[in-house]
Amino acid sequence: DAGVIQSPRHEVTEMGQEVTLRCKPISGHDYLFWYRQTMMRGLELLIYFNNNVPIDDSGMPEDRFSAKMPNASFSTLKIQPSEPRDSAVYFCASRGQGKGETQYFGPGTRLLVL
């Protein structure tokens, strides 16, 4: 299996622009997670899905952030409009059933908002 796939790997954009991050989970995994990592705040869970349904989005910082999972093999995290403080590495992760199952992380998208 190719593992969790994220694109793009790097994104540089200007403040106010829309940013869309993409994730393809491991085939057969029922859960998908979006995390944000910064030096100041560490690793934060933004939102997670079970069987394509958002379960907990309490970590989404504000309405500028939205996430969708239209099918079992694809999810997007959108920031509109983007701000410099959104600069971070965004990780997607997936796992199978059972809360003790291992989460597998993607390589991340390094976002820089100028």
Partner 1 sequence: AQSVSQHNHHVILSEAASLELGCNYSYGGTVNLFWYVQYPGQHLQLLLKYFSGDPLVKGIKGFEAEFIKSKFSFNLRKPSVQWSDTAEYFCAVAGRRALTFGSGTRLQVQP
Please choose, out of 10-18, 19-27, 42-50, 70-78, the segment that lies near partner 1 by the rule CB under 8 A.
Answer: 42-50
CB-neighbour burial class of residue 63 (10 A; exposed 0-12, middle 13-18, buried 19+): exposed
90 touches 105 (CB < 8 A): no
Find the shortest distance in angstroms from Cβ 100 to partner 1: 4
Distance CA(90)–CA(92), nearest Å, equals: 7
- 72 near partner 1 (CB under 8 A): no
Distance CA(31)–CA(82), nearest Å, equals: 26
- 25 near partner 1 (CB under 8 A): no
Judged by CB under 8 A, the number of residues near partner 1 is: 18
Instruction: Point out which residues bind partner 1 (CB under 8 A).
Output: 31, 33, 42-43, 45, 48, 56, 91, 93, 99-100, 102-108
